[in-house]
A and B are shown apart, each in its own frame.
Chain A
Amino acid sequence: MSGLDTSPSPIVSVREASFAYDPERPVLKSVSFEVEPGDFVGVVGPNGSGKSTLLDLIDGVLAPTSGTVLINGRATRQYKRRDMAREVALVPQHFALEFDLTVREVVEMGAYCRGADCSPASVAAAALGKLGIAELAERRFPQLSGGEKQMVVLAQALVQNAGVLLLDEPASSLDVSHQLRLFELLKELNADGLTVICVLHDLNLALTYFNRLLVLSQGGVAAWGPAEEALSPEVLEAVYGVRAHVHHHGGRTYLTFSPRAHGQARGRGHVHLVCGGGTGSSLMRELTDSGYEVSAGVLNALDSDEVTGRELGLSMAVEAPFSPIGDDAHAENLRLMTAADVVVLADVPLGHGNARNLDAVQAAVQAGKPVWVAATLGDNDPDGLAVVLSGASLRRYGDEREVLQGVAQWQDGDGGSEPGPE
């Protein structure tokens, strides 16, 4: 399972660990993975998939009902609490302290496990300085904002000086700037040798920051490995039941999601889009998210609509970059259009390069297929090519909402006989 078999002995080793409060409903089911010193691991998974419980097992607060969890080769149940706190520090998701202690007093508590090894005051001051919150030291903890509390608890955990830092959704109460600051900081600490295991919900943060990701689903490991492999669309669909789209932009990889899974999408009918140059991207997205099967064509490869369509996994008729539409692409376009229930022609600039798309649309009109055409089509038509379009099933739309409504009405049964907005 581990990427390198020659790697040093794992610092955290979870072996077929299961946990259940109630034997009928196990929280974790035979989870196995190993983390090497200096790893930077993200743990993701739907609500209730057992992420927080996994952290409690690693920290030894809970003992597995079967299997073992080893820290530095030694089972967690063999550790005294104080010794465990020297090896593993945890930043909990919820932190309740109603009492009027100062931030400094709270952070110093982290030094408890170190006994006489250190001066609590100086390590606490160092941790607060490292996190850039030294000015909070004399403030009263209950009066801090949620984000400040989160940083103080992180400082408390850092004071433990443990080799492994566990974090349970540390970003959930932080605004975007503090989120980024936190993760940059974790990266720095990681570069200094700290092993980090962090539970988080935001899959894009997970992709951006973590080397390795553990994906939990219903108490089991759904994927474990390098971030982009672990968060493949297949895994995400299986785990979260959503359609995931991988985008590459500006040197970053990020994900977007459509609410329905593939299987459900087929149910709502098939819309074929004729677009190009970015005129169809948002409709592609809207229709996909609304559960339609969407196809498009003819598009030139690397055209922005083509890129979007590819990322959304649409069926498309594609021509080579900067080339006029050839016979093969045209035939494929006609085929897709024939299979579609509705055709939409976006406000695409018209020219001889894509004139055959108009022929294809007109063929659909003649076949009696409902066809929606952007009202502004023809504004950018120096050669007057749009004149070929005419017929009873042709209707015009002003903005994309009309298309979405129109298609939905058509789906409901009576939309087909209703006249268009024009």
Chain B
Amino acid sequence: MVVSLSFGPASLSPAQLWHDLLAGPGAHTADSIIFWQIRMPRVVLSFLVGGALAVAGVILQDLFLNPLTDPYVTGVSSGAALGATIAIVLGLAGGLWLTGMALIGGLATLLLVWTAARRRGRIDVYVLLLAGVTASYLLSAIITVIMIHANDDLGAILYWLLGSFSGRTWTDVETALVAVPFMVVPLFFTKEMNILLQGEKRALELGVDVERTKVVLVVTAAILTGIAVSVSGIIAFVGLIIPHLVRLLVGPSHRRLLLLSMLMGAALLSVADLLARTIVAPTELPVGVVTTFIGAPVFVYLLRRGRHA
């Protein structure tokens, strides 16, 4: 699966791939440059983003005990989008600035939503959910206002908002690599996450430090989302559908669920990106559109088949 992802508008044969891979990034043939400077960062990035969104989706769905939750409900993505929009309007669209602004926007939103949901030292997850959704709408409204006044940059903003891996470089990959430790964090909380499926009160009764667990998990999910959005824009559906899909396949127990979600998220998004850039080549579809096209029918099929077959 990994190997097949290295196809693109300019095809590289498997033998050529292997040759380029062995030759390393130092070679200066045209194929090698396509492979190492264009194709490879994209594939790696889609892997990382897919994994991050899927893990964030698992965390938030199970924390909110709400199957319709996706990584964007915390408002972090909208915050990141606003940050990116401002960066674009201010003419700071060059790689790191945009990513940095997006991250700052995302984390600032998290802080805001977090403060709203905090009462007597406890985080009320329902308030968190509502505050997140509300913040999303508010921030989207602000983005809309900015877009109306930003005639010149409208295309760039829209392109970013729809989510895409086009033109991403190794710098973006480096940013996305920061997500890797945060993808590992929830693996240390699989028991707590399983117990929390019975609700917060029962988790307390069974000895779980619920508040600490919530803090760690929500912050982790928010950072994963923030990083993913900051490097690739808002890619729909991965964080919503992958956890459901994997739950149908292996059940709700978290060790398997998290690991497989990470892999499936990575795989889905890289396949989706492959399709996004080849299906209507030489133009590109937004990758979020492709994820939806792949995910929806597969999900409906699995839902109908159930886990019992």
* Residues in chain A within 8 A of chain B (CB atoms): 59, 61, 80-86, 89-90, 92, 95-101, 105-106, 109-110, 112-113, 156, 160
Instruction: State the Cβ distance, A152 to closest chain B Cβ, in Å.
Output: 11
Q: Which residue of A lies closest to B200 (CB)?
A: A61
A101/B252 in contact, CB under 8 A = yes
Provide the bound-state CA to CA distance between A12 and B251, in Å. 40
Q: A97-B198, A101-B197 are in contact. Are A61 and B205 (CB under 8 A)?
A: yes
B206/A112 in contact, CB under 8 A = yes
Main secondary structure on chain B at its contact with chain A? loop
- New A-B pairs, 11, CB < 8 Å, besides A100-B252, A160-B206: A59-B205, A61-B201, A81-B207, A85-B206, A95-B198, A96-B198, A99-B197, A101-B251, A105-B253, A110-B206, A112-B207
B208 contacts chain A at the CB level, 8 A cutoff? yes
B210 contacts chain A at the CB level, 8 A cutoff? yes
Residues of A near B307 (CB, < 8 A) are 100
Q: A95-B202, A101-B253, A112-B191 are in contact. Are A85 and B197 (CB under 8 A)?
A: no
B91 contacts chain A at the CB level, 8 A cutoff? no
B205/A92 in contact, CB under 8 A = yes
Q: Annotate B164-176 by CB proximity to A: 1 below 8 A, 0 otherwise.
A: 0000000000000
Q: Annotate B17-35 by CB proximity to A: 1 below 8 A, 0 otherwise.
A: 0000000000000000000
Provide the bound-state CA to CA distance between A86 and B208, in Å. 11
Name 24 A/B residue pairs within 8 A (Cβ), A-sorted: A61-B204, A61-B205, A80-B209, A81-B207, A81-B208, A81-B209, A82-B209, A83-B207, A84-B207, A85-B206, A85-B207, A89-B205, A95-B198, A96-B199, A99-B247, A101-B197, A101-B252, A101-B253, A105-B194, A106-B198, A109-B191, A112-B207, A112-B208, A113-B206
Residues of A near B202 (CB, < 8 A) are 92, 95
Interface residues in B168-198 (C-beta closer than 8 Å to A)? 191-192, 194-195, 197-198
B204/A109 in contact, CB under 8 A = no
Residues of B near A80 (CB, < 8 A) are 209
Instruction: State the Cβ distance, B62 to closest chain A Cβ, in Å.
Output: 8
Residues of B near A97 (CB, < 8 A) are 197-198
Residues of A near B207 (CB, < 8 A) are 81-86, 112-113, 160
Looking at B65, B207, B210, B251, the one whose CB has the most chain A CB atoms below 10 A away is: B207
Residues of B near A99 (CB, < 8 A) are 197, 247, 252
Provide the bound-state CA to CA distance between A336 and B191, in Å. 73
Instruction: State the Cβ distance, B16 to closest chain A Cβ, in Å.
Output: 46
Instruction: State the Cβ distance, A161 to closest chain B Cβ, in Å.
Output: 11
Provide the bound-state CA to CA distance between A85 and B201, in Å. 12
Residues of B near A113 (CB, < 8 A) are 206-207
Residues of A near B204 (CB, < 8 A) are 61, 81
| Complex A-B, nearest 10 residue pairs according to Cβ-Cβ distance, in ascending order | A85-B207, A113-B207, A99-B252, A82-B207, A90-B205, A99-B197, A109-B195, A97-B198, A61-B204, A81-B207
Provide the bound-state CA to CA distance between A98 and B251, in Å. 12
Provide the bound-state CA to CA distance between A320 and B65, in Å. 71
Provide the bound-state CA to CA distance between A89 and B65, in Å. 24
Provide the bound-state CA to CA distance between A92 and B252, in Å. 22
Residues of A near B194 (CB, < 8 A) are 101, 105, 109
Candidates A83, A96, A100, A109; contact of B206 at CB < 8 Å: A109
Instruction: State the Cβ distance, A59 to closest chain B Cβ, in Å.
Output: 6
Residues of A near B205 (CB, < 8 A) are 59, 61, 85, 89-90, 92
Provide the bound-state CA to CA distance between A100 and B62, in Å. 13
Provide the bound-state CA to CA distance between A141 and B161, in Å. 42
Interface residues in B195-234 (C-beta closer than 8 Å to A)? 195, 197-199, 201-202, 204-210
Q: Which residue of A lies closest to B198 (CB)?
A: A97
Instruction: State the Cβ distance, B302 to closest chain A Cβ, in Å.
Output: 13
Residues of B near A59 (CB, < 8 A) are 205
Instruction: State the Cβ distance, A61 to closest chain B Cβ, in Å.
Output: 5
Interface residues in B286-309 (C-beta closer than 8 Å to A)? 307
Instruction: State the Cβ distance, A88 to closest chain B Cβ, in Å.
Output: 9
B208/A100 in contact, CB under 8 A = no
Provide the bound-state CA to CA distance between A160 and B195, in Å. 13
Q: Which residue of A lies closest to B209 (CB)?
A: A81
Provide the bound-state CA to CA distance between A90 and B205, in Å. 7
Provide the bound-state CA to CA distance between A147 and B195, in Å. 21
Candidates A61, A92, A100, A160; contact of B251 at CB < 8 Å: A100
Provide the bound-state CA to CA distance between A81 and B206, in Å. 8
Provide the bound-state CA to CA distance between A81 and B199, in Å. 15
Provide the bound-state CA to CA distance between A109 and B203, in Å. 9
Q: Which residue of B lies closest to A85 (CB)?
A: B207
Provide the bound-state CA to CA distance between A61 and B207, in Å. 10
Provide the bound-state CA to CA distance between A83 and B204, in Å. 11
Q: Which residue of A lies closest to B192 (CB)?
A: A112
Provide the bound-state CA to CA distance between A101 and B205, in Å. 19
Residues of B near A81 (CB, < 8 A) are 204, 207-210
Residues of B near A96 (CB, < 8 A) are 198-199
Residues of B near A156 (CB, < 8 A) are 206
Provide the bound-state CA to CA distance between A156 and B205, in Å. 11
Residues of A near B209 (CB, < 8 A) are 80-82
Interface residues in B83-120 (C-beta closer than 8 Å to A)? none
Q: Annotate B264-291 by CB proximity to A: 1 below 8 A, 0 otherwise.
A: 0000000000000000000000000000
